[in-house]
């Protein structure tokens, strides 16, 4: 193996890791500013011009904050759990293409760390690992509230990762490949897959909200009943690692959603100027992140039984039907049928499930 190739991989990996860590810091600032605008208030504006040094101030505070370990905690697992949570969030971005091949220093360089044929399989495998960190954090703390948060995270993962995995299948069938670069190139030919897979894109986006424990699906860390959930006993940099994992995963799933459904790095002039690819993808990620922030500012946290019912009774049937209808539409070479039929089916399932869940809730309160 060439030394230059190994050096290229190392440089790209370091740049990606630095971008993720910096993105995590300023995503918190972006969220606080956006929430302030939505809620008609100012937001952070003290540290630096316009508050732009607020993430630096928060980082320094967390670095120097005292760290405590409960006396009856399993100390080894207590320390390892944040690492198990944050590492998958960092490495999941390795297969996301930020652009096509460019020529630099006489070499053809791909704008992705790893261009593998089973990129979707890699993503599904890595995303399922991070939940172990949350479960182990709750268990090792020897705290009942933390343990409940870990159990909730496990149940939530089971109910929403099924729909998330099925959400990948639509773009995979349309492109005929699990390679994310091939999926982007297919959208250059057929148009953004969100046009042919609106229901699949909706399922994927909602399932990723649940996957990263974002409101209104943040039941594992519900402060009203769990006083912070699985990270109740964590402080200092150990807490910061959980915080980092959540926000880096927000960036990662937004980049994956943009790649699968919104053309990825594709945009005007990319063929002539490949350096525009990362800029286009970054803009799409910023828009999708604003969608997550907007949902947090708008929707209240839903009740836990309804959270589970939504995953099993609404998301899973719609995801299964979307896969079936997509396969039939591709076989019949009638892509427009996929959008129309899946939207009609989604409306029917939501209507039936809403009535069923509403009647069950009314009966519970009547009893």
| Confidence at residue 279, expressed as pLDDT on a 0 to 100 scale | 92
Q: Look at residue 318 and tell me if it is in a domain.
A: no
Which residues partner with 107 through β-bridges?
Answer: 104
**The domain containing residue 130 runs over which residues?**
3-303
Q: How many domains does the chain have?
A: 1
| Confidence at residue 353, expressed as pLDDT on a 0 to 100 scale | 64
Cα 350 to its chain centre, rounded Å, is 23
| Confidence at residue 226, expressed as pLDDT on a 0 to 100 scale | 67
Q: Look at residue 221 and tell me if it is in a domain.
A: yes
Q: Look at residue 314 and tell me if it is in a domain.
A: no
Q: Look at residue 168 and tell me if it is in a domain.
A: yes
| Confidence at residue 216, expressed as pLDDT on a 0 to 100 scale | 83
Q: Look at residue 204 and tell me if it is in a domain.
A: yes
| Confidence at residue 105, expressed as pLDDT on a 0 to 100 scale | 73
| Confidence at residue 148, expressed as pLDDT on a 0 to 100 scale | 84
Q: What's the predicted TM-score (pTM) here?
A: 0.90
Q: Look at residue 324 and tell me if it is in a domain.
A: no
Q: Look at residue 336 and tell me if it is in a domain.
A: no
Query: 275: burial class by Cβ within 10 Å (0-12, 13-18, 19+)?
Result: exposed
Q: Look at residue 212 and tell me if it is in a domain.
A: yes
Per-residue pLDDT of the chain (367 residues; tens, 9 = 90+): 588 788 888 888 899 889 988 998 899 999 999 999 998 898 898 888 888 999 999 888 888 888 888 888 888 999 999 998 888 888 898 899 988 888 777 778 888 888 888 889 999 888 888 788 888 888 898 888 888 888 888 888 888 888 998 999 989 998 989 999 999 999 988 888 988 888 888 889 999 988 888 878 887 776 667 677 788 888 888 888 888 888 999 999 999 999 999 998 988 888 888 888 899 999 999 999 999 999 989 888 888 888 888 888 888 888 888 888 888 888 887 777 777 777 777 777 777 666 655 555 555 544 4
């Amino acid at each position: 193996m060439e030394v230059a190739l190994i050096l290229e991989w190392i440089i790209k990996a370091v740049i990606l890791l630095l971008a993720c860590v910096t993105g995590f810091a300023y995503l918190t600032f972006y969220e606080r500013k956006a929430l302030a605008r939505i809620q008609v208030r100012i937001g952070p504006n003290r540290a630096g011009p316009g508050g732009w040094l607020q993430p630096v101030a928060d980082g320094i505070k967390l670095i120097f904050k005292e760290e405590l370990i409960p006396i009856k905690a399993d100390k080894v697992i207590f320390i390892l759990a944040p690492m198990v949570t944050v590492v998958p969030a960092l490495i999941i971005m390795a297969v996301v293409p930020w652009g096509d091949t460019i020529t630099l220093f006489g070499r053809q360089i791909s704008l992705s760390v790893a261009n593998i044929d089973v990129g979707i399989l890699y993503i599904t495998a890595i995303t399922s690992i991070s939940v172990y960190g949350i479960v182990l954090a709750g268990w090792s703390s020897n705290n009942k509230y933390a343990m409940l948060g870990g159990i909730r995270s496990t149940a939530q993962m089971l109910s929403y990762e099924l729909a998330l995995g099925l959400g990948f299948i639509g773009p995979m069938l349309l492109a005929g490949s699990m390679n994310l670069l091939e999926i982007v190139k297919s959208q250059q030919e057929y148009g953004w897959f969100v046009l042919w897979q609106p229901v699949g894109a909706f399922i994927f986006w909602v399932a990723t909200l649940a996957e990263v424990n974002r409101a209104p699906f943040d039941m594992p860390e519900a402060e009203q009943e769990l006083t912070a959930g699985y990270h109740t006993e964590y402080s200092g940099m150990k807490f910061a690692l959980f915080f980092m994992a959540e926000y880096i995963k927000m960036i990662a799933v937004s980049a994956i959603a943009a790649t699968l459904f919104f053309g990825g790095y594709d945009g005007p002039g990319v063929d002539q100027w490949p350096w525009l690819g990362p800029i286009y993808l970054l803009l799409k990620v910023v828009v999708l992140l604003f969608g997550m922030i907007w949902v947090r500012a708008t929707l209240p946290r839903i009740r836990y039984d309804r959270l589970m019912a939504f995953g099993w009774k609404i998301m899973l049937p719609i995801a299964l039907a979307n896969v079936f209808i997509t396969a039939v539409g591709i076989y019949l070479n009638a892509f427009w049928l996929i959008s129309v039929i899946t939207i009609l089916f989604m409306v029917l399932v939501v209507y039936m499930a809403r009535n069923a869940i509403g009647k069950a809730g009314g009966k519970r309160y009547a009893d």
